Each structure stands twice: as structure tokens, then as C-alpha cells.
Amino acid sequence: MIIGGGIVGVGIVRDLALRGVDVTLVERGEIGCETSTHFHGELHSGGRYAVKEPEAAEKCIRENEILKDIAEDYITDTGGLFLKLDEDTEEYFQKKKEMCEKCGIETEVVQGDQLREEIEALSENVDKGLRACDAVLQPTALMQATLKDAENHGAEILTHTEVTDIQVEDGEIKAVEAGEQTFEPDLVINATGPFAENVSKLAGIDVQMKPTKGVMTIVDNPGVHTVLNRCAPVADGDIVIPKGDKVIVGTTSIEVDDPEDFPKNQEEEDLMIERSSKLVPGIAESNSVESYWGLRPLYDQSEDSHGRDAKREFTLINHKERDDLDGMMTVVGGKWTTHRFMAERASNLACEKLGIEAECETDSTPLPPPSEIGEVQDWLQKGQDNYLNFSW
């Protein structure tokens, strides 16, 4: 049983189904109704993390290439730029370029005048940029395609089915109460992201999360057609994602105490406009259409690690080894871009625990095309697979 219908849970259920495992996914709401549709939508090249977290960057570029191959219908290959402003240091720009090369991320240096010929909306203060292979995801459509493939291979998907109790006897998971049903799975995988701590408590164990909130603000597109990141240490309001006639600008990283109830402040929205307009001045002149907040499922046990200092790597917890609890594992952390790899690793451990010998196939098996998923085809044809039509 997979608990959690975000992109990681969805990725795991597909991986296991393709291996022939009898698998059920339960989600308390709609698929992707929390974190997985409340992010900016970038398919990372890895360049954003190359300086600070090169291992995460290496995973991003590998998964970027895989997803473009198996899910091309659900990705807009916009390309990306890491932009250096006049006020940003040449030292960091060169470090970014050097680390991208070490991580296997191809870049090209482009001068500011040429960039403004390509994107007139860019600030006069843009000195130069690094071109990379970032792209834009269609998250709800990609998740539905992933689920469709899982169902085609025998998986059961139950939405609006909240787990209310996990029964433990003699150090072993015996049953799971979800909705109005009782399940007796051989293995439970907690893939509930920022809510993993709440679910783990149902089984009497502790997974201490450090979720951080991030705001994204949608404004009219002033003429941006590629993903923009500022070429400086990662900070608030340094990313601009084109989505048709809108752009999504973000984001903050503020630790929250309760993932079920956290403040959403106008000041955070205003900060996004102020900071991102340093890259694209027209953003400050656009009408704000909508803002939404998402939660990062961060799990970093360093006492001095908070907010942006928390690592973006994922963690796979085998509760048999850590808590002497048989029949349960948890996967936390990571990023949308690396969800398939996270699912592969989780599924490898699941199969090992279940005594199943089957190799991962998700790195080479294409997702079903939109034509096989009526609702998804309608979304994409109408340009509606965004952050407003599905989860609000």
C-alpha cells in the first residue's frame, strides 16, 4: 500500500505495477492536491543546485533527460537561463559554470545584449547568462498519465480515502484503516511528503519533518518564453517560469510548524514581485492574477539546518532497521524533477523486503499519450493544465 497521491506516491505505484507487484494507492483528497500541484512547474536542469548540492544537481540532469524521453507530451522544452545582474559577482558566475560542467550540465555563456535581443523583457541590468536545459512541466497531466499507466498494469487507485489508523502488533504492521475499509498490506510506504510526520505517528513512530512554505505568484507574461533563474546564491524571488500568457514567479522558503495550517502573507507575494522584477521589470507592471503556497517535504536532521539550508536530497527510511517496525517504509525530501528516481529507489527496497525479483522499467517505458486519457487531452488542448483548474 502506498499512502499519498502526490508525485512521489504516484511514481512509486507505477514503478511497482510495472514490476508486477499487487499495489494499492490511497490518497485523502484528489491526486496531487497538495504539494505536487503547488510548485512553480520547473523541470530542473540541476543548474540551480550545482554549486551548493552537486549530488542533487547530478540527479536532476539525469532525470531531466529521462523525463524528456518518456514524458515528452507533458513537458514544454523552453530551455533555461541563469542570469547575472550587474550587482552579482563574476566569481559566483564562474563557479556556477564550473560546477555545472562537473555535474554533467551543458551550459553556454551568452552576453546581455544578445539575451535582450532574444527576450526584450529582460532588464538592462542583466550582464550575461548561462544557457541550460531547464524546461516546464505540465504537472497534473503528467501525474494522470503516470496513474493511467499504473492502472493499465493492475494498480488500484483510491482517492478521497484518508488513512485514519495503522494497527501495529508485536512490532509489525497488521492493518490499515482507510476510508471505510480495512486493508492488510504486506508493506506500507508512507509517501505523504510534508505530512509524513503525521502519518508516521499513526504507527507509533516519529519522522521529524522540516517542511518549508514557498509562495508562487502568477502575473501576466511580459514577454518571457524561457525559464529564468538568477545566477546568484539561491534566494527569495529569483525564479521566473513561463506558462503561456502568464508567468509564475517565486519563491520563499520559510519553515512552518504545522503543514495543515500555516500563514499566507501578502508581504511574501509583494516580495516575489519586487525581487523577480530585477530580472524582468515588466513583472512589476503586470496585474497579479493569483498566488498559491506549497510545502517542501524537507527531512534534514542537522540541527543547524533550516529553510534554504536544508538539503534537497531525498531520504528513504526502512523502519525495520530504524524503529524495529516491520512492514513500513517512508520516503521524504527530494524534488518533482527527481520523483522517478526516488520511486525507483523506494521500489527497489520494497521488492527486496517483499522477496520479489523484478527490475525497474520506468526509465525507458514511455507514459501513455494524452490521446489515451480524455481529460488530460482536453486540458492540454485548452492550455488549462495549470495551478488553478485542478487543485483550487
Q: What dihedral do alpha carbons 34, 38, 43, 45 form, nearest 10°?
A: -100
Q: Which helix (H) or strand (E) holds 261?
A: none
As to burial, measured by CB atoms within 10 angstroms (0-12 exposed, 13-18 middle, 19+ buried), residue 381 is exposed
C-alpha cell belonging to residue 303: 540541527
Measured CA to CA, the distance from residue 367 to residue 18 in angstroms comes to: 12
**b vs e for 142-179, b when ≥16 Cβ sit within 10 Å of the residue's Cβ?**
bbbbbbbbbbebebebbeebebeebebeeeebeebebe
**29 CB-near residues (< 8 Å, 6+ apart):** 5, 159, 160
Query: Grid coordinates 514524458 are at which residue?
Result: 71
Reference 163, options 328, 35, 292, 326; nearest CA is: 328
Measured CA to CA, the distance from residue 100 to residue 107 in angstroms comes to: 7
The CB density around residue 216, as the number of other CB atoms within 10 Å, is 24
Measured CA to CA, the distance from residue 160 to residue 179 in angstroms comes to: 8
Q: Domain coordinates of the chain in residue numbers? A: 2-382
Reference 126, options 230, 240, 9, 256; nearest CA is: 230
C-alpha cell belonging to residue 128: 550575461
- Mean pLDDT of residues grouped by 10 in the chain (392 residues)? 97 98 96 88 96 95 98 96 98 98 98 97 98 95 94 96 97 96 98 96 94 93 97 94 92 91 90 96 86 88 57 87 97 95 98 97 96 76 52 31
Whole-Å CA distances, 112 to 119, 129, 237: 10, 7, 20
CATH fold label, 2-382: FAD/NAD(P)-binding domain (3.50.50)
Instruction: Decide: 191 and 346 in contact? Cβ < 8 Å.
Output: yes
Beta bridge partners of 54: none
Beta bridge partners of 177: 165, 182
Beta bridge partners of 337: none
**68 CB-near residues (< 8 Å, 6+ apart):** 43, 75, 77, 135
Instruction: Decide: 271 and 284 in contact? Cβ < 8 Å.
Output: no
Predicted pLDDT of residue 301: 64
* Range list of H helices, the chain: 7-18, 54-70, 90-102, 112-118, 139-152, 196-202, 266-276, 319-323, 339-354, 374-382
According to DSSP, residue 366 is labeled P
Maximum Cα interatomic distance, the chain, rounded to a whole number of Å = 68
Q: Coil, helix or strand for 178?
A: strand
